[in-house]
Amino acid sequence: MSHIAAVIQARVGSTRLPGKALRCLPGGTLTEHIIKRMQAVKEIDRIVLAVPSGQEEKPLREIAGRQGIDCVQGPEEDVLKRFILAGDEVNAVHIVRVCGDNPLVDLPLMRRLIQKHATNNADFTSCSDPIPLGSGSEVVKLDALKEIALKTADPVYREHVTTYFQDHPDTFRLEKIQAPAYLKNKNMRLTVDTEKDFYLLDQIYRKFYFPSQSPLDLEEILQFLANQPHLSAHNSDVEQKNWRLD
């Protein structure tokens, strides 16, 4: 049984930046970098790429095959079901939720989330502090996701997987941990939604990516960006979509 599985939600289609999952940074595609980053986390037993059904997702299935990880296809909008299918595929007990937009998710924070979650047998564990957009992750018990799936058909909760925990905090066992100092209250976009976002990540990878080295150190990157305000501000005017207001 896989105790902990990282599930990466990704798709070829994207409203704001079509095909971004296949866009190339130095050293590989956006999706390949995320997979390799997860492969560096020893606490993770299996990695699953969870993509929508459809032939257009074939390039992502091929990436999963080349990287030696599992790939599961499911409903495009019902991401909750996709996560449950992915967890069941590898007999996971707990899932680390990773967004396919985020190649620089912070690994020390992720490890602490996993450890806290497992120690307390939580249903959902997340970070309590504001951190750079794209640096965070969450850990959830697969059985808790299945319970949510039985409780609601609301598209909001089916598409935004962990929102039900946030809106019903008394229903589940929730845990929070503080962010490390180098992440806390850093107002920065390290996710990829637009061309401006991709440009910033491309510049970061051009400076910090070396094939022979371990995954990029986000603390080091943030120190660099603090001294390069013109670069870190490149995508600061990008408006983050607020799906609750849609």
Question: What is the residue-wise DSSP string for 163-211?
Answer: HHHHH-TTTS-EEEEPPPTTTTT---B-S-SSHHHHHHHHHHHHHH--T
Alpha carbon distance 123, 145 (integer Å): 9
DSSP code of residue 136: -
Q: Which tens digit of pLDDT belongs to each residue from 110-155?
A: 999 999 999 999 999 999 999 999 999 999 999 999 999 999 999 9
> Residue 55: pLDDT band by 50, 70, 90 thresholds?
very high
Alpha carbon distance 105, 235 (integer Å): 18
Q: Which tens digit of pLDDT belongs to each residue from 89-113?
A: 999 999 999 999 999 999 999 999 9
Which DSSP string corresponds to 94-105? EEEEEETT-TT-
- Mean pLDDT over each residue of the chain, to the nearest integer: 94
Q: Which tens digit of pLDDT belongs to each residue from 150-199?
A: 999 999 999 999 999 999 999 999 999 999 999 999 989 999 999 999 99
> Residue 62: pLDDT band by 50, 70, 90 thresholds?
very high
Q: Six-digit token pair at 61?
A: 């299935």
CA 60 to chain centre: 16
E-only strand ranges, 34-169:
46-52, 70-74, 94-99, 124-127, 138-141
Which pLDDT score, from 0 to 100, does residue 241 have? Answer: 66
Residue 103 contacts residue 192 (beta carbons within 8 Å): yes
**Position 242 pLDDT exceeds 60:** no
CB neighbours of residue 80 within 10 Å: 23
Per DSSP, the three-state class of 162 is coil
CB-based burial, 230-243: b 16+ in 10 Å, e otherwise? eebebbeebeeeee
Alpha carbon distance 199, 238 (integer Å): 12
Per DSSP, the three-state class of 12 is coil
Which pLDDT score, from 0 to 100, does residue 243 have? Answer: 44
